Amino acid sequence: MSAARPSSDPSHQDGAPLPDAALVWQTQSGHPEAFAPLLQRYEARLQWWTRDYFLSGGDRADVDQVARIAFWQAVQQYRVQDPAAQAFAVWVQVAVVRDLQDAVHTLRRRKRHAAERPLSLDAARKTTGTPSGAEAIAVLLDTVAAPDLSPEAVWIAQETVQDFWQALPTVLSSREWRVWQMWWQTQSIAETAHRLGLSYKFVDNALQRIRRKAQALWQFLSEESSSTQSVPQIARRFRRRTR
């Protein structure tokens, strides 16, 4: 399946809406701008699928944020070119609900143990197999959090997560984004390096840069009022601040 580089509106081509699979393919192929319209297309369905879930001590927004992270992981794992694959809408519903069920239990445990030492990219590197959805989401949340932020603090700062998730691709270089996507799929620096044709040291260094940028972006969003800003505006302000 081939996909042209997304235009200014990546969800449409020649005035017609692109199918889900095309946006998934573009996202997987290193065009992160295609993810935002795909997420927007599924926002209402995500809320419907997860309407019966709740978190002790939390609110509806907690579940929504976990569902969005599970949605992103489902996009990364969908086999676009497999003719036997389920339709994306079917696949993503099953994947999101399954991962949400696991993540709810995992994050409840993490919230009860806020002092637990966070996982790191180095810890994730030692993973020998493919983690479950809940484990991968936990790794992501730990990667987002700055070292001095407990899981409890990340949880409380829930309104920042969506802005962070949409802005992160815009502050990474195209190569860093490809490294992040491949590492997310493989959970292995060695395998990421092999698949991308890069050295182990290059990938390891890239992941360290990604972690630093992620931490800086999270801190920036935690300090700034970004609710009325677009993602490009957030990214521009972040770059000016970090020059």
Q: What are phi and psi of 126, to 5 degrees?
A: -80, -5
pLDDT digits (tens, 9 = 90+) for 167-201: 777 888 888 888 887 887 776 888 889 989 999 99
pLDDT digits (tens, 9 = 90+) for 95-114: 888 877 776 666 555 555 44
What pLDDT shows up at residue 131? Answer: 41
Asked if pLDDT for residue 61 goes beyond 80, the answer is no
What pLDDT shows up at residue 202? Answer: 93
Q: What is the DSSP letter of 83?
A: T
CATH for 1-112 is 1.10.1740.10
Candidate ranges 26-30, 138-142, 154-158, 205-209; pick with highest mean pLDDT: 205-209
What pLDDT shows up at residue 133? Answer: 44
Q: Give pTM, 2 decimals.
A: 0.48
Choose among 173, 202, 191: nearest CA to 32. Answer: 173
Category of 120 on φ-ψ map: left (φ > 0), alpha (ψ -120 to 50) or beta:
beta
How far apart (Å, rounded) are the C-alpha atoms in residues 138 and 121?
11
Q: What is the DSSP letter of 34?
A: G
